Structure 1
Amino acid sequence: MTEQRYPWPEASYTGVGSVPGTDPDEAARTVFGELPDLPHLPELPERGVGAETVGRTGGMLVDLPLEVRPSGWRAVQRPGRDVQRARSLLSRDLDALEECSQGFEGPLKIQAAGLWTLAASVELRSGEKLLADSGAVADLAASHLEGVLAHVGEVGKRVPGAELIVQVDEPSLPAVLAGSVPTASGYGRLPAPDRVTVEARLRELFGALTGAGAVPGAHCCAPDVPVDLLRRSGARFVGLDTAAIGRSLDDDVGTAVESGVGLFAGVVASADGDVSDPGANVDPVRDLWSRIGFAPESLSRAVVATPACGLGRAAPDYARAALAACRQGARVLREEPRRQ
């Protein structure tokens, strides 16, 4: 493995995005206190509609208004109170971020739901998933790209010393690629889009983020995260759950890391688990590194320790313990990369 340069410090650790609670000021203070070298913009899904992943990013969309129906978010003709609420909540989060980050300089991670996860989640007016209509997906892609870039610009204005890292959350991407997203009736499955199209849409987003001066990457905590597709699309890092992925991904992970892609490695459970042994927590990462044949000394540069997924459903005490465990795990990867 050749020497790579990454936009985060050695032995870094961070959160995935969501945290427990409803107070954005408290969340921002916690994140900057627990994750001083690589903080992130907290997400607070306990606040309800508009604060969860799909609604939060839905509020960023340009000229594509959404509203909540009993079955989920749906595209509509004009903005209503649901999308206004999502925008208000995000604005409040940015206010808290700006206040807490005075004088901050360094890498700062922000998150947004990805195009394909939105397409598999948001409904057309007919009630079918937007993924079913290639024209609607194209419209969503343009709206999403414009909205995410505007969000990046807004964060950059509020935290001028930040080196922005943009995590695109794509938990539904494997289901989209496998053609396993359910139809509205629940009895069928929506056909998988052409992989060339999927890659092209991802590349367009990652390329635009790079052009805006941000570092793009993706997070997917499914066992079958498409690492190679994300690498080819221009992701600079891939976040995954190291305890969930199988050995079948070893070659793809190895190729990605060899080409300079960082690994945001989920090393502790996101809701409940025993996080008391830092060495045991990072064993899956060290085992992976050993299998793909990289020097253990490179672990602490290429790997950022994170929870397996967001902490939004965790108890506050556990969330703090999980972030502390990530910090301890990152130190183990630097100081004792190979088990004795």
Structure 2
Amino acid sequence: MTESNEVLFGIASHFALEGAVTGIEPYGDGHINTTYLVTTDGPRYILQRMNTGIFPDTANLMRNVELVTAALKARGKETLDIVRTTSGATWAEIDGGAWRVYRFIEHTMSYNLVPNPDVFREAGRAFGDFQNFLSGFDANQLTETIAHFHDTPHRFEDFKAALAADKFGRAAACQPEIDFYLSHADQYAVVMDGLRDGSIPLRVTHNDTKLNNILMDATTGKARAIIDLDTIMPGSMLFDFGDSIRFGASTALEDEKDLSKVHFSTELFRAYTEGFVGELRGSVTEREAELLPFSGNLLTMECGMRFLADYLEGDVYFATKYPEHNLVRSRTQIKLVREMEQRADETRAIVADVMETTK
């Protein structure tokens, strides 16, 4: 839902902005929150209406963001800069909506599609460096913002519930996609079982490591800031690696309708692995290294079944632009997983090689 200009100007007036507001326009293509770019006769800002249906505990979500950004700044890292309200709060509830403002990070760019391996290698380095930072962060300070976020077996139960209900009679039109996710059920518990029995270490993770959540310097191409900190909470490093591969090692956009354009690139997989493992080599366990290639499969299947479940439920979670949008997204994920499965020997060899050369 977008707001009128008059309403948005009124909302912006609740925050301690420098300069007079001259314009507010929709910005970006995020699935969850509603984002606007605020221009003033001084700095620019990002204004967001947070999705309280997905993040109901706004106070603790913003406390997480405040804690993490303060720790990053203390280490000299560029990060999101929260602009407080005129009363000093980190967010405001206005007319039933939860709103926040960040300073716009100038002279940066982000990518929805990897233009070349060097960019993806830099992304891997940036998320690996961020993982190193999080390793020193006390997880007990953080609130879980979305329960079971990367709990794939739980997501699968949600998917089966959506299928059983079939509220909008859509299941008949996507039986091959349904069958794909049902047929992989024996793979979904691998990481959660490892976290449960201790064979996979519990870490503090970003949990939404899409390429477009890194701001790159517009001149040097180097990563400057990791954004979208709403899902930082305890999890597995495999979640962060796998989600990056899901999004970035694809040759097409997440919602590409023409599946002939959608391929899993092992060249991009290698580039990201070199960057990510290069930063984390000293802390990657043997079991994590063994599962790095599979984590791409797992997170792609998890996201794909979430897209399909949302399609079956009437598109209530992810923002859509047309009725079959989530179904299209689900199909791209299936195409990627099938190619990941075909090239499993190659990705295992890549991880082994990178682990060896970065000792």
TM superposition score normalised by structure 1: 0.32
Q: Structure 2-normalised TM-score?
A: 0.30
